[in-house]
């Protein structure tokens, strides 16, 4: 049932305040010494009214912005200060068939607002049309929604702009990404003060920084922190959008992540991470907004200039192009919308200090009217921008639109989430047939996708799990999704997860099942950290975190998603930290260029071996049921006065145990154990090696195993038995 509220008289003006023309740039609310400049873009509006509220968000007073320069409405209000609450009412035609949805009865958020106060209260008044009207001929809604809307806050960020940013400047190939949720990471941490749990301050607390530093990651990637709203269908189910992929404010941090009343808390968090030599990357959602489809609420862009801000169906402009699956698609092809995105990105870099971005559904941003184009306007704007071309740029290289899957097709400035890596490593360790060639390509850095136009292995963001899907623990504990808590009868989320439960679905106390699950988690983590490319670790995977089999927990703002700091597998944490130390210790694991056949002995190189200690022959790569493999990685001489080094990785993805013969490489001495997933200590492994010696072919590094007819020489080596689904890592020096 709708409630009618009185609307402020549009003819009322602020008393004792002087309105002057002001300037069209910068857009948004800009504080000056004697007032505030307001500027708002709308190409199709007939009138723009600035609404000023008291400190409680009440007592609305209005000023009409009469100046218009190149479709930007602007005015300077003398006497207004930082902290003032405001919004807009925008007049124009309500003609959905022509793409126009103006409704001056709706208070609208400034797209450039840098802080929001209050939340969005569900109410019929938030819709620009009468809810029970005919969908093909929507009725204009005259109910005022101001009582139910958050208010924009005028921010003076001059002090933040002047504050130095001490960036770690970690090379991309040496970056180790930790994907985390602001609230979920700290809300249950008993070592974080109660008043900052689940906030930016909690994420940057002493205990959190200490944990991440000891783990060894050097980059934290945060799920969306831009202001976002809950979708109406979630509220009906008494759920909420936990992940935050429903942005409404591209400059304003989500209010619930602030422990206080100032956005400087975000910058303080970034500075704290930088002091710990940890970079900060933001997951950003510029592909759609929280206003949803044609029947969604009018909150900001829709009411300011629907035809400019959104991509509409050309022959029926009531409808939105929905390449995102979220109801609408932001129109990044429009120059003013593109400017909004670019201004937002620069703000988070120059003022808030972040080090890069991960672009959600990035194919939407690269799609011109004729389809995806690596040379589109958005990518060109990024590549030439003197600020943004220097930060880390990561694409989620797909959307649901036509031709949306574009893995490997992004410009050189981008790295990309590599889902082919994810799926291959899951299938290999699950024991699927015919996986050896694909495993080798992904482990090598996916050069088949990325080695073109000067791109390097760091173009591949390798991951086993992410926020979207099973956690690592659940990947080896559940055969099927268990998403009933989402209220969609378990129909949502990925159907095929390439997972395995090893005999029991979910939790068990069977020691044999627990052992193999433990090994599989360690196998996958080890593979991730040893592969060429940039590893991304999902927060909680190193602790054994479970989401109870929910593989689409976007709406679970509760203990399903929150990290349980009381029940951590500390042995897995220590194992992961050791893996990260190994990755940092051996530069060959994060090489700047793709490594191919070594041209000289002891040059950087990969050599693949069978479990018999012999170089892989061409026919062995095509053995359908083969699930064992070994690889030797070698590095050049490391200054000062260091010898060439080699790493040997033995992999057994079969369910049965197999004997491995360690390769003999001319010039390298005895292999020393580094990592194993059988949880043996190094002394036991060395003893096992000494107990067994066999004859094996010798291969020099410059003799690569490509010629099946080459006659090798032989020498004495060692052999080891690897349990089913386990691995071992060794190193040796020349």
360 carries an active-site annotation: yes
CA–CA separation, 430 vs 191, rounded Å?
Answer: 37
- pLDDT, position 2: 34
Q: Which two tokens stand for residue 137?
A: 């001929």
- Answer yes or no: are the C-beta atoms of 331 and 308 closer than 8 Å: yes
Catalytic residue among 291, 396, 399, 654: 396
Any idea how long the chain is? 734
- Which CATH architecture describes the domain 19-156? Sandwich (2.60)
Provide the CB-side half-sphere exposure for 38 (13 A, CA): 33
pLDDT at position 216 over 80: yes
DSSP labels, 596-655: -S-SSTTSSEEEEE-TTSSBPPHHHHT-TT--EEEEEEE-PPPTTT---EEEEEEEE-SS
At the top level of CATH, which class does the domain 595-733 belong to?
Answer: mainly beta
- pLDDT, position 10: 44
Question: Would you call 556 helix, strand, or coil by DSSP?
Answer: coil
Same fold, 19-156 and 595-733: yes
CA–CA separation, 461 vs 179, rounded Å?
Answer: 12
Q: Which two tokens stand for residue 281?
A: 């990357």
What pTM value is reported for the model? 0.94
CA–CA separation, 145 vs 139, rounded Å?
Answer: 16
CATH number of 160-287+330-588: 3.20.20.80
Mean pLDDT, the chain, whole residue set: 93
Higher-confidence residue: 270 or 713?
270
Q: What is the DSSP letter of 347?
A: H
Q: What is the DSSP letter of 9?
A: P
- pLDDT, position 706: 47
- Answer yes or no: are the C-beta atoms of 194 and 259 closer than 8 Å: no
Q: Hey, which residues does 697 pair with through a beta bridge?
A: 714
Domain positions in the chain: 19-156, 160-287+330-588, 595-733
Helix pair 570-585, 511-530: axis angle to 10 deg: 20
Catalytic residue among 221, 279, 360, 541: 360
pLDDT at position 84 over 50: yes
- pLDDT, position 690: 79
CB count within 10 Å of CB 57 equals: 17
pLDDT at position 379 over 80: yes
Higher-confidence residue: 50 or 705?
50
Q: Which two tokens stand for residue 494?
A: 């990925």
pLDDT at position 726 over 50: yes
The set of residues, in sequence order, having a beta carbon less than 8 Å from that of 715 and lying 6+ positions away, is: 664, 695, 696, 698
pLDDT at position 704 over 50: no
The set of residues, in sequence order, having a beta carbon less than 8 Å from that of 156 and lying 6+ positions away, is: 31, 82
CB count within 10 Å of CB 174 equals: 16
Q: Are strands 116-117 and 713-722 parallel, antiparallel or unpaired?
A: unpaired
Residues 17-63 have pLDDT tens digits of 689 999 999 999 999 999 999 999 999 999 999 999 999 999 999 99
- pLDDT, position 684: 84
């Amino acid at each position: 049932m709708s409630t009618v509220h009185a609307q402020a008289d549009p003819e009322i003006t602020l008393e004792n305040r002087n309105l002057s023309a002001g300037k069209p740039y910068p857009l948004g609310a800009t504080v000056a010494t004697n007032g505030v400049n307001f500027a708002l873009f709308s190409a199709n509006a007939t009138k723009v009214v600035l609404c000023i509220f008291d400190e409680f968000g009440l007592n609305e007073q209005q000023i009409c912005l009469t100046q218009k320069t190149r479709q930007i409405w602007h005015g300077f209000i003398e006497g207004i200060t930082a902290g003032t609450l405001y919004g807009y009412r925008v007049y124009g035609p309500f003609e959905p068939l022509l793409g126009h949805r103006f409704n001056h009865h709706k208070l609208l958020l400034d797209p450039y607002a840098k802080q929001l106060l209050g939340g969005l209260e569900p109410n019929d008044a938030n819709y620009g049309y009468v809810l029970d009207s005919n969908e093909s001929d929507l009725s204009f809604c005259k109910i005022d929604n101001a009582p139910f809307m958050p208010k924009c806050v005028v921010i003076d960020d001059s002090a933040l702009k002047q504050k130095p940013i001490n960036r770690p400047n970690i090379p991309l190939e040496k970056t180790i990404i930790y994907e985390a949720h602001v609230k979920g990471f700290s809300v249950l941490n008993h070592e974080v003060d109660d008043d900052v749990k689940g906030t930016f301050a909690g994420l940057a607390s002493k205990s959190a920084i200490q944990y991440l530093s000891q783990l060894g990651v050097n980059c934290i990637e945060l799920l969306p922190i831009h202001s976002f709203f809950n979708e109406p269908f979630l509220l009906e189910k008494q759920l909420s959008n936990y992940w935050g992929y429903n942005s409404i404010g591209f400059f304003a941090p989500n209010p619930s992540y602030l422990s206080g009343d100032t956005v400087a808390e975000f910058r303080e968090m970034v500075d704290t991470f930088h002091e710990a030599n940890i970079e900060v990357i933001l997951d950003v959602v510029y592909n759609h907004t929280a206003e949803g489809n044609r029947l969604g609420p009018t909150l900001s862009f829709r009411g300011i200039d629907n035809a400019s801000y959104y991509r509409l169906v050309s022959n029926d402009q009531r409808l939105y192009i929905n390449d995102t699956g979220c109801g609408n698609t932001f129109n990044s092809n429009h120059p003013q919308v593109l400017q909004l995105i670019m201004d937002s990105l620069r703000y988070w870099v120059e003022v808030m200090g972040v080090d890069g971005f991960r672009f959600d559904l990035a194919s939407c941003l690269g799609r011109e009217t004729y389809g995806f184009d690596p040379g589109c306007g958005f990518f060109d704007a990024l590549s030439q921008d003197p600020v943004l071309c220097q930060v880390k740029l990561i694409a989620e290289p797909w959307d649901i639109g036509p031709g949306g899957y574009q893995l490997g097709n992004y410009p050189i400035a981008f790295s990309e989430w590599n889902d082919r890596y994810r799926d291959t490593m899951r299938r290999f360790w699950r024991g699927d047939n015919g996986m050896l060639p694909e495993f080798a390509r992904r482990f090598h850095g996916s050069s088949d996708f990325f080695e073109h136009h000067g791109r390097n292995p760091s173009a591949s963001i390798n991951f086993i799990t992410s926020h979207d899907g099973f956690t690592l623990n659940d990947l080896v504990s559940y055969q099927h999704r268990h998403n009933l808590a989402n209220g969609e009868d378990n129909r949502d989320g990925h159907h095929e997860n390439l997972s395995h439960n090893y005999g029991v679905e979910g939790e068990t106390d069977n020691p044999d099942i627990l052992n193999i699950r433990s090994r599989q988690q360690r196998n996958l983590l080890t593979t991730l950290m040893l592969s060429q490319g940039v590893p991304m670790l999902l927060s909680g995977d190193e602790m054994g975190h479970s989401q109870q089999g929910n593989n689409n927990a976007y709406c679970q703002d509760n203990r399903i998603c929150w990290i349980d700091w009381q029940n951590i597998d500390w042995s897995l944490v220590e194992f992961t930290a050791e893996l990260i130390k190994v990755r940092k210790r051996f530069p060959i694991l994060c090489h700047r260029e793709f490594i191919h056949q070594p041209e000289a002995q002891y040059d950087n190189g990969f050599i693949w071996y069978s479990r018999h200690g012999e170089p892989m022959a061409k026919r062995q790569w095509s053995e359908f049921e083969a699930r064992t493999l070994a690889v030797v990685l070698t590095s050049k001489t490391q200054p000062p006065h260091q010898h060439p080094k080699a790493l040997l990785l033995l992999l057994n993805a079969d369910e049965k145990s197999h004997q491995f013969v360690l390769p003999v490489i001319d010039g390298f001495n005895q292999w020393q154990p580094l990592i194993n997933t059988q949880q043996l200590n190094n002394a036991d492994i060395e003893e096992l090696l000494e107990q067994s010696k066999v004859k094996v072919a010798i291969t020099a590094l410059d003799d690569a195993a490509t010629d099946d007819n080459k006659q090798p020489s032989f020498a004495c080596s060692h052999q080891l038995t690897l349990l089913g689904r386990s691995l071992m890592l060794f190193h040796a020096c020349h």
